[in-house]
Amino acid sequence: MSGTLVLDGEALSKLSRRHRDMTVWLDVARRPDLLVVTSAATLVEARDPKVPQAAFDQAVSLAKVRPVTEEIARAASRLLAEEGLHGHKYAVDAMLAATAHAEHGDVTVLTGDTDALRRLCRPRIAVELIQGLSRPGPVSKPDVSLCQDRGMLRLTDFIIDCPDTMKLAAFYSEVTGRPVKEGSSEDWAGIQFGEIELAFIRVDDYRAPQWPDSEHPKQFHLDFEVDEIESEQRRVLDLGATLRQDFIGPDGYGWQVYTDPIGHPFCLCRNKGVIWTDQGPVWPERA
Q: Find the range with the poorest average confidence among 29-38, 129-138, 259-268.
A: 129-138
Greater pLDDT, 37 or 123: 37
End-to-end Cα separation, the chain, in angstroms: 36
CA distance 15 to 287: 41
In percent, the amount of the chain with pLDDT more than 70 equals: 79
pLDDT at residue 280 in the model: 66
Q: Which of 236, 234, 242 is nearest to 224 (CA)?
A: 236
pTM: 0.49
Q: Select, from the ranges 16-20, 126-130, 238-242, 253-257, the one with the highest average predicted confidence (pLDDT).
A: 238-242
Residue 69 confidence class, pLDDT cut points 50, 70, 90: very high
Torsion angle of C-alpha atoms 15, 17, 22, 26, degrees rounded to 10 = 50
Q: Find the range with the poorest average confidence among 86-95, 137-146, 252-261.
A: 137-146
Greater pLDDT, 256 or 159: 256
Q: Find the range with the poorest average confidence among 56-60, 73-77, 199-203, 209-213.
A: 209-213
Greater pLDDT, 137 or 283: 283
Q: Report yes or no: 142 and 2 within 8 Å, Cβ to Cβ.
A: yes
C-alpha distances in Å from residue 246, one per residue of 146, 258, 270 = 44, 9, 12
Residue 43 confidence class, pLDDT cut points 50, 70, 90: very high
SS3 string, 162-216, reads ECCHHHHHHHHHHHHCCCECCCCCCCEEEEEECCEEEEEEECCCCCCCCCCCCCC
pLDDT surpassing 60 at residue 123: yes
CA distance 229 to 272: 13
pLDDT at residue 152 in the model: 33
- Is the CA virtual torsion 52, 58, 62, 67 positive or negative? positive
pLDDT surpassing 90 at residue 243: yes
Residue 211 confidence class, pLDDT cut points 50, 70, 90: confident
pLDDT at residue 60 in the model: 86
Greater pLDDT, 282 or 198: 198
Q: Which of 200, 195, 204 is nearest to 185 (CA)?
A: 200
